[in-house]
């Protein structure tokens, strides 16, 4: 991968998403900060892995990318165009042609009342795809592409296995020949026995069709295997993005802690224990969101958000941290806290 990718397929600039907090009243007006100030780009042909603990905003980020979630602020460009400056119909058409989306659970993402053929053809119908014969031919082609037998054409989702259902979802996502496929935990709802098959299918399709991919997963080994670049998120913030070749050189302590929890992912290292719960997304800490669990934090971390900076040697490795890990052997020399030694989580004011 070159350090400076050429064609940008999707770009988030300073994107934030807030939701009304469950149980918030008209008076408190509490907001959940699901995504804050996210800057992410996806270039043609590259695979970007998105990682982070549950609730850190991964799904929100991909929903924003595919136009399913309108940001509270910031700009979302897909195929070079600001999708929220378009009419609803224009936006649907434009995104449909540029981006395909595969969701986590095909049991809920597919319309259970429609046969496979109608599900796969749905994006073609929405875009008024040529004639009926072309439509039928395209469905056959797509079923073949994802390894579905012709006999599945008239089946309802309930009559298919979980793996076959996910193949239907992938066929639907590819119907309009998008340049970018966004997959949000595409294998985690499947039986362990078929996960590898679906992952291999996605990798095969990526190669054959020259797709760019955004791949969200909790499985860091897989993310490392499939990605060119990794984006680490914490409490609604992108805290680091780095080329997979630099995975040993994660600068953000959270990236190091996250990766250290998967044995064999990095050089031999002790898991870095993180004490305390993830702070509330309604009342995130001031400054760096990770500071309440970070063993390297200082007062500076509470007063301001670290800028999104990079190493001089590479434009594709950026992180938000006042005390980046510049020497990974730091982590072996006792800088790692004993369990429970990280700073206690402060109660929101
Ligand atoms: N519609 C909503 N209303 C209120 N809060 C929401 C809504 N959608 C998401 N959130 C909150 O936004 C935050 C980010 O959620 P998101 O689903 O993006 O996280 P995630 O990293 O994808 O989690 P997981 O890995 O468990 O899927 C969480 O605190 C979540 O509870």
CA–CA distance from 87 to each of 64, 133, 328 (Å)? 16, 30, 49
Atom 25 of ligand 1, nearest CA residue: 54
Residue pair 284/264 in contact (Cβ under 8 Å)? The answer is no
Which one, of 247, 261, 214, 258, lies nearest residue 328 by Cα?
A: 247
302 C-alpha vs ligand 1 centroid, how far in Å?
24
**Torsion angle (degrees, nearest 10) of CA 334, 336, 339, 340:** 110
Give me the pLDDT at residue 248, please: 85
Q: Report the length, in residues, of the chain.
A: 349
Give me the pLDDT at residue 268, please: 63
The structure's pTM equals 0.90
What average pLDDT values come out for the chain (349 residues) when binned by 10 residues? 67 96 80 96 96 95 96 97 95 93 91 95 82 87 96 95 96 96 94 94 96 95 94 97 91 91 73 84 94 91 92 80 82 45 42
Residue pair 35/57 in contact (Cβ under 8 Å)? The answer is yes
Counting DSSP H helices and E strands in the chain, the numbers are 10, 12
Q: Which of 21, 31, 60 to mutate to test the pocket of ligand 1 (most atoms within 8 A of CB)?
A: 60
Residue pair 112/192 in contact (Cβ under 8 Å)? The answer is no
Rg (alpha carbons) of the chain, rounded to whole number: 21
Give me the pLDDT at residue 23, please: 80
Which one, of 232, 182, 171, 176, lies nearest residue 46 by Cα?
A: 182
- CB-based pocket (< 6 A), ligand 1: 19, 32, 34, 52, 54-60, 281
Residue pair 306/322 in contact (Cβ under 8 Å)? The answer is yes
CA distance 71 to 32: 13
The interface predicted TM-score of the complex, written ipTM, equals 0.97
């Amino acid at each position: 991968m070159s350090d400076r990718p050429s064609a940008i397929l999707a770009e988030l600039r300073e994107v934030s998403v807030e939701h009304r907090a469950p149980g918030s009243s008209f008076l408190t007006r509490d907001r959940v900060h699901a995504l804050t100030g996210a800057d992410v780009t996806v270039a043609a042909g590259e695979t970007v892995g998105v990682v982070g603990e549950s609730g850190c905003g991964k799904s929100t980020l991909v929903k924003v990318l595919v136009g399913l979630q309108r940001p509270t602020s910031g700009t979302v460009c897909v195929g070079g165009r600001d999708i929220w400056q378009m009419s609803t119909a224009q936006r649907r058409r434009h995104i449909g042609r540029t981006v395909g989306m595969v969701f986590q659970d095909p049991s809920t993402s597919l319309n259970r009342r429609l046969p496979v053929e109608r599900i796969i053809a749905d994006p073609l119908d929405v875009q008024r795809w040529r004639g009926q014969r072309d439509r039928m031919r395209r469905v056959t082609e797509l079923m073949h592409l994802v390894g579905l037998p012709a006999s599945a054409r008239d089946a309802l989702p309930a009559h298919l296995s979980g793996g076959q259902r996910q193949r239907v979802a992938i066929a639907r996502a590819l119907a309009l020949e998008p340049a970018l496929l966004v997959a949000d935990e595409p294998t985690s709802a499947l039986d362990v026995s078929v996960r590898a098959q679906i992952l291999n299918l996605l990798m095969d399709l990526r190669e054959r069709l020259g797709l760019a991919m955004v791949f969200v997963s909790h499985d860091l080994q897989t993310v490392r295997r499939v990605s060119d670049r990794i984006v680490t998120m914490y409490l609604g913030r992108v805290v680091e993005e780095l080329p997979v070749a630099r995975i040993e050189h994660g600068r953000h302590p959270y990236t190091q802690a996250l990766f250290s929890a998967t044995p064999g992912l990095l050089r031999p290292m002790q898991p870095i224990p993180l004490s305390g719960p993830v702070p509330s997304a309604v009342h995130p800490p001031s400054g760096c969101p990770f500071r309440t669990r970070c063993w390297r934090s200082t007062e500076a971390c509470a007063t301001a958000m670290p800028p999104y900076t990079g190493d001089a040697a590479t434009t594709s490795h950026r992180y938000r941290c006042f005390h980046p890990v510049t020497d990974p052997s730091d982590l072996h020399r006792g800088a790692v806290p004993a369990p429970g030694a990280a700073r206690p989580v402060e109660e929101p004011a």
